[in-house]
Amino acid sequence: MTLAHSSVLRRFGFFSSFFSTFAAAGLISYIGPDLNLTAEDKGNAAVASVAGTIVFRLLMGYICDKIGARYGLGVLLLLVTPAIVAMIIPGVVTNAGGFIACRLVIGFGLATFVACQVWCSQQFSKSVVGIANATAAGWGNLGGGVTNLTMPYIFLIMMSFANDDIATAWRLCYIVPLALHLLGAAFVFTGRDLPDGNYRELESSGAKQKTDSKVVVVTGITNVNAWILTITYGFCFGVELTMNNVANGFFAKYQGVTPQLAGIAASMFGLMNLFARSLGGLLSDYCNTRWGMRGRLWSCWIIQTCEGIMCLVLGSLTTSLDAPYPTTMTQVPAFVNLPAESWRVAIGAPYGWTPLNGNGCVSSETVLPCGSKQIKATAELKSCLQTQDTLILVQDPPYGTMLIDGVNTTIGTSNADTGLPNECISHANLFSVAVIIVIIFSVFVQMAEGLHFGIVPYVSRPALGIVSGMVGAGGNLGSVIATNIFFKGAFRTDVGVVNLGGMIIGITMLMFFISFPEHGSMLFKKGVLKYDPQLVKPPADYRGSDQMDYGKVALMQGHEGKSAKVVPQA
């Protein structure tokens, strides 16, 4: 078992949990109408997907210190699979309650992050722990981007197996995350807990000190630095979780694109994990080499503040735009934008902005002002629109005058108190600009995550699992807070993004209060502050779970380093 092999196992296991947790986000354009989900239902499901794992991440920290990260990761992947199966079986999830419950349980799997980070911290030296942790977690977080990218296309594939039945097709899509969980668990169990062997072998030989549950818990929860990092991590990783849940809808509803194109745009946020989180870890290690722990802290604060600024920019892109309709209109007639192809013009088929209730079509479909959705085309719609597409994108019409059934018809209103004419969000041609901003925003988010876990291993080695669990749970808590406040209907999505950006900048200021007696803080050098953030200290002879008595390790390994032959010590 090499470090490279072990690293691949960690990444794949964590990747699987991310993929399954956010699979629903990539399919929400289809799941929502099928289960009659309201905006509040979708918000509650998004909260549930990241809220339940807060407790599980804390438990995972304890499990990692007690029995090892490997078992914790593998077992948790298997424990959440019944909820994935429930999403597949027809008749099990039929309403908002069942959907929210399954997203809650599937989201428990995000606690694999803690196991991934602890396992990685235990296998690499502190000089490279930033890049090691960041790369492992980044490639795991990549699952959030991959699921947004692939799920809309997996849906199209499953439509062919489901005879174009949307309700069946989205359920079949969950076969993919189910397979990933089963494979991930199987792979993880082939790994090794520590470079020197497995927990049970090392403890039985006396090489590893047995974990004292009370010591690790008390040590972890009485460290002030751990609590500050728990809060600040909530506004980098928590922001990523939030965006994984809302980005697809933001692009599909606001920008008026298909779920497939929205999935590509939303996936940009998660796909930056290919390099950005590692870049944060690399920056953390570099700053540590040049300026010590103070360099790690300053770089983390600067990057996360930049994250907040880009969040403000993204939201501000569309906040000045509004629907050119009276505020009393909660729904508007649905239109489809047909290409002006030569054959359409030649035979007199409809093209351009075409109402679904006009030009020979009879449909009661409506959409939200500045909104869009994808619907299954009936035989009648295919005939009157002259299209063979199974799914069609319907939107609100742009403001202005157009020919409908031979009559010049004005769409919308120019009243000054009801909005800005011609500036409906989905027709503002801002999609490309928004994608570019999302990419830059995401790079700062992922870098801030990597920078955080360049600091975490220094907080308390004896309680590394507990501290990692606390900080990881803080990430999910941040997402719960952000989603509940900003993305459950109280604000327009873009206004919510602006408010979130301000909150990120404010919360990140807490990093000025992190201090290490042996390293100093952002503002003060070592020894200036007579303050120890470890309020309750562990026994003087207590070692971390990865700190070995290497004399006993050598004896245990015997000839040629074969760790399977354990020699118990008296």
User: Which letter does DSSP use for residue 548 in this model?
Assistant: B
Q: What span, in angstroms and rounded, lies between the C-alpha atoms of 182 and 394? A: 38
Confidence at 289, pLDDT banded by 50, 70, 90: very high
Specify whether the CB–CB gap between 284 and 135 falls below 8 A.
Answer: no
More confident residue, 552 or 383: 383
Q: What's the confidence (pLDDT) of residue 173?
A: 96
Listed range (72-81, 305-314, 323-332, 345-354) with the worst mean pLDDT: 323-332
More confident residue, 40 or 85: 85
Q: Render pLDDT for 191-249 as a digit per residue (tens, 0 to 9).
A: 666 655 555 665 565 555 566 778 888 998 999 999 999 999 999 999 998 988 888 87
Neighbours of 471 (CB within 10 A): 30
Domain boundaries, the chain: 3-321+428-521, 332-427
Helix and strand tally (H, E) in the chain?
Answer: 24, 10
Q: Render pLDDT for 1-37 as a digit per residue (tens, 0 to 9).
A: 444 445 565 568 778 998 999 899 889 888 988 999 9
Specify whether the CB–CB gap between 203 and 452 falls below 8 A.
Answer: no
User: Which letter does DSSP use for residue 418 in this model?
Assistant: G
Q: Is the pLDDT of residue 566 over 70?
A: no
The CA distances from residue 137 to 223, 271, 278, 287, 474, in Å, are 24, 13, 9, 20, 16
Confidence at 65, pLDDT banded by 50, 70, 90: confident
More confident residue, 141 or 546: 141
Tell me the residue ranges of DSSP E strands in 455-533.
Answer: 515-516, 520-521
Specify whether the CB–CB gap between 468 and 122 falls below 8 A.
Answer: no
**What is the pLDDT averaged over residues 36-63?**
86
Q: Render pLDDT for 443-489 as a digit per residue (tens, 0 to 9).
A: 999 999 999 989 998 998 788 878 988 998 898 899 999 988 988 87
Q: What's the confidence (pLDDT) of residue 286?
A: 94
**What is the pLDDT averaged over residues 39-67?**
84
Specify whether the CB–CB gap between 450 and 281 falls below 8 A.
Answer: yes
Burial of 536 (0-12, 13-18, 19+ CB in 10 A): exposed
Q: What's the confidence (pLDDT) of residue 54?
A: 86
Q: What span, in angstroms and rounded, lies between the C-alpha atoms of 237 and 252? A: 23
Q: What's the confidence (pLDDT) of residue 235?
A: 95
Q: What's the confidence (pLDDT) of residue 6?
A: 52
Tell me the backbone φ, ψ of residue 516, rounded to 5 degrees.
Answer: -120, 125
**What is the pLDDT averaged over residues 109-136?**
75
Scanning the structure block, which residue is given the tokens 């354009």? 29
Q: Is the pLDDT of residue 427 over 90?
A: no
Confidence at 418, pLDDT banded by 50, 70, 90: very low
Residue type, 212: D
Q: What's the confidence (pLDDT) of residue 569?
A: 33
Q: With the C-alpha atoms ordered 537, 539, 540, 543, is the resulting torsion angle positive or negative?
A: negative
**What is the pLDDT averaged over residues 498-516?**
96
Residue type, 533: P
More confident residue, 448 or 118: 448
Q: Render pLDDT for 359-406 as a digit per residue (tens, 0 to 9).
A: 778 888 888 877 888 888 888 888 888 888 888 988 887 766 555 555
Q: Is the pLDDT of residue 45 over 70?
A: yes
Q: What's the confidence (pLDDT) of residue 514?
A: 96
Scanning the structure block, which residue is given the tokens 């909104």? 371
Q: What span, in angstroms and rounded, lies between the C-alpha atoms of 35 and 132? A: 42
**Helices 237-249 & 493-508 angle (0-180, nearest 10):** 170
Q: Please, what is the average pLDDT of the chain? A: 82
The CA distances from residue 482 to 44, 86, 242, 304, 485, in Å, are 12, 28, 7, 16, 5
Specify whether the CB–CB gap between 355 and 335 falls below 8 A.
Answer: yes
Q: Render pLDDT for 508-543 as a digit per residue (tens, 0 to 9).
A: 999 999 999 999 999 999 988 888 999 998 887 766
Q: What's the confidence (pLDDT) of residue 548?
A: 52
**What is the pLDDT averaged over residues 556-563?**
47
Q: What span, in angstroms and rounded, lies between the C-alpha atoms of 337 and 72? A: 51
Which 3 state secondary structure label does DSSP give 197?
strand
Q: Is the pLDDT of residue 299 over 90?
A: yes
More confident residue, 423 or 245: 245
**What is the pLDDT averaged over residues 182-195?**
77
Listed range (80-94, 245-259, 534-548) with the worst mean pLDDT: 534-548
Q: What's the confidence (pLDDT) of residue 140?
A: 73
Q: Are strands 400-404 and 391-395 parallel, antiparallel or unpaired?
A: unpaired
CATH of domain 3-321+428-521: 1.20.1250.20
Q: What span, in angstroms and rounded, lies between the C-alpha atoms of 131 and 153? A: 33
- Share above pLDDT 70 across residues of the chain, in percent, rounded to a whole number: 82
The CA distances from residue 92 to 88, 101, 159, 569, in Å, are 8, 11, 20, 54
